[in-house]
Amino acid sequence: MKKYSVKDIVYISLLIALNIILGRVASIRVPYIGIESVRIGFGGLPIIFAGIAIDPLAGGIVGGVGDLLGYFIGSTGQYMPHFTMTAALTGIIPGFLLRSIKKSDYSLWQLIIAIAIGQTITSIIMVPYFLNILFNVPLVASLPGNLINQAIHIPLYAYMIHVIVKRLVPYMGLSND
């Protein structure tokens, strides 16, 4: 297990705060039968960035802790650990996939593929499934919105992370190897 430096912990904490702001405050929630079925926002960006720029475990920490703190700060419903696991996997999966390539300079296409695989597993498969089993939200109600949402988010996340990793990571003192 990697031992995080103080600098890494500060970056992880900053990304958790950014995740809460972008995911809970600066996002649009689309309800269905009184339950949030689609959230339009950029809360996943700091999670995926942490998984790629720092390491997959950091992405999982940003996603999991961000979800927990976001729930305690301003949630209206009951806590469901299913979504915390999904948030953690949002950062773990792309980071893990890109780590298996064994290089640090990822192309835009590699980022798109890794993020698409992660978002397909978490946002397109797991979230609608959990909404269905927990709240009886039909898959036909949540799946189309999530598909459209991710068709927009995946290339945006990949492009933004590509630019940020190229320009900021060398100055942040992070080794994304």
Q: Which domains does the chain have, with CATH numbers?
A: 6-172 (1.10.1760.20)
Amino acid sitting at position 114: A
Q: Is residue 35 very low, low, confident or very high in pLDDT (cuts 50, 70, 90)?
A: low
Task: Name the percent of the chain in helix, strand, coil, to the closest 5.
Answer: 75, 5, 20
Q: Is residue 125's pLDDT more than 50?
A: yes
Q: Is 59 exposed, middle or buried (0-12, 13-18, 19+ CB in 10 A)?
A: buried
If you average pLDDT over residues 30-59, what whole number do you get?
83
User: For the chain, how big is the Rg over CA atoms in Å?
Assistant: 16
Lowest mean pLDDT among 6-15, 94-103, 105-114, 122-131: 94-103
If you average pLDDT over residues 13-42, what whole number do you get?
79
Q: Is residue 34 very low, low, confident or very high in pLDDT (cuts 50, 70, 90)?
A: low
Lowest mean pLDDT among 89-93, 113-117, 167-171: 167-171
Q: Is residue 46's pLDDT more than 90?
A: yes
* The pLDDT value given to residue 177: 47
Of 60, 127, 123, residue with least CA distance to 91: 60
Q: Is residue 171 very low, low, confident or very high in pLDDT (cuts 50, 70, 90)?
A: confident
* The pLDDT value given to residue 169: 73
Q: What is the mean pLDDT of the chain?
A: 88
d(CA 43, CA 48) in angstroms, rounded, equals 9
* The pLDDT value given to residue 32: 61
